[in-house]
Amino acid sequence: MSKAVRIRSITPPEIAARKGGDPIVCLTAYTTPMAKLIDGDVDLMLVGDSLGMVVYGLPSTLGVTLDMMIAHGQAVMRGASRACVVVDLPFGSYEASPQQAFDAAARVMCETGCAAVKLEGGRAMAETIRFLTERGIPVLGHVGLTPQSVNVLGGYKVRGRSREEAERIIADGVAVAEAGAFGIVVEKTIEPVARELTARVSVPTIGIGGSPACDGQILVTEDIVGMFPDFKPKFVKRYADLGVELQRAVQAYASEVRARSFPGPEHCFPSNLQVATSSSTG
Ligand code: KIV
């Protein structure tokens, strides 16, 4: 009798143990089909609040709600079996107090079955990260450019260009690690900051516009496959042009439908059944 092999998911402690080892491969996923497609090749799958822009066409991540994150977390969990699935806490769901963060994170963990949550912020969030981790919720930190603070930062430009800001980002990362985060996303900082932070903390850093010295890398999956042909940020490498390919396929379909060359005989269901014609029904 053959036995079904249940693939075990990678856990947050296993991600933490990869510090200084083989690079940790991370990508975003928001849907079941995408999770199924990438599960075999990534160590960590992030249900990022970037879904606000990528899936919903919002101008920033600020309009993303906890219910949206939970719905997409559930979808991704239906498609992932190997990767460690982490779900973002959206803006407004965790910053007010550790208790507010616990309530939001507990909902995410219980209702999706994911392995951990991610939240943005450095020293200001250290108490909250400690509160969550001491109560059974693994947390992935996020420092450097923190998109939920876009209005305070004044845009999405590279962080850490001044010595003061570089030191602040490193202090933020150190505080997040000391508070118990199992890893830290380091977004869009000058390379020496990401490198120095990686050297200073005992948990893995996951870079996005960071440094090859980071312990892992993350990007938005739609960006690396070219789903948005006009969006070409410096820190993204494009490995395919699926947006252009998709438009080509849709144009071919549209012209075949217009020319009545689709559907062809191979797409129809032949039968000997005689069906009354419109002239015999009146
Ligand atoms: O929301 C997101 O997708 C992210 C990453 C790309 C780091 O936070």
CA of 61 to the centre of ligand 1 (A): 10
Residue 187 annotated in active site:
yes
CA of 236 to the centre of ligand 1 (A): 13
Distances in Å between the alpha carbon of 149 and those of 24, 119, 182, 189, 243? 26, 12, 22, 15, 30
Residue 201 has pLDDT above 50, yes or no: yes
| Structural domains counted in the chain | 1
Contact 46, 206 (CB under 8 A): no
3-state DSSP assignment of residue 185 = strand
CA of 137 to the centre of ligand 1 (A): 19
Q: Check if 208 has its Cβ closer than 6 Å to any atom of ligand 1.
A: yes
Q: How far apart are CA 167 and CA 194, in angstroms?
A: 11
Q: Given the residues 95, 165, 187, 266, select the one marked as catalytic.
A: 187
Report if residue 270 sits inside a domain.
no
Atom nearest to 206 CA in ligand 1: 7
3-state DSSP assignment of residue 17 = coil
Residue 191, burial from CB neighbour count under 10 angstroms (0-12, 13-18, 19+): middle
CATH (domain of 140): 3.20.20.60
What's the pTM value of the predicted model, to 2 decimals? 0.95
Between these two residues, 278 and 225, which has the higher pLDDT value?
Answer: 225
Q: How far apart are CA 168 and CA 273, in angstroms?
A: 77
Report if residue 250 sits inside a domain.
no
Q: Check if 211 has its Cβ closer than 6 Å to any atom of ligand 1.
A: no
Task: Indicate the range of 64-73, 109-118, 194-203, 268-277 predicted with least confidence.
Answer: 268-277
Atom nearest to 118 CA in ligand 1: 8
Chain mean pLDDT for the chain: 96
Segment 244-254 mean pLDDT: 98
Q: Check if 46 has its Cβ closer than 6 Å to any atom of ligand 1.
A: yes
pLDDT recorded at residue 282: 44
Report if residue 233 sits inside a domain.
no
| Range of the structural domain that residue 148 is part of | 12-224
- The token pair at 258 is 């217009």
Residue 1 has pLDDT above 70, yes or no: no
Segment 253-266 mean pLDDT: 98
Report if residue 7 sits inside a domain.
no
**Cβ neighbours around 94 below 10 Å, total:** 25
3-state DSSP assignment of residue 41 = coil
Atom nearest to 187 CA in ligand 1: 7
Report if residue 246 sits inside a domain.
no
Report if residue 232 sits inside a domain.
no
Atom nearest to 54 CA in ligand 1: 3
DSSP of 197-248: HHHH-SS-EEEESS-TTSSEEEE-HHHHTTSSTT---TT------HHHHHHH
Q: Check if 88 has its Cβ closer than 6 Å to any atom of ligand 1.
A: yes
Q: What is the pLDDT of residues 85-144, one digit of tens each?
A: 999 999 999 999 999 999 999 999 999 999 999 999 999 999 999 999 999 999 999 999
Contact 117, 105 (CB under 8 A): yes
Segment 176-180 mean pLDDT: 98
Reported confidence tier of residue 261, pLDDT bands at 50, 70, 90: very high
Segment holding 28, helix H or strand E:
strand 24-28
Report if residue 253 sits inside a domain.
no
Residue nearest atom 5 in ligand 1 by C-alpha distance = 48
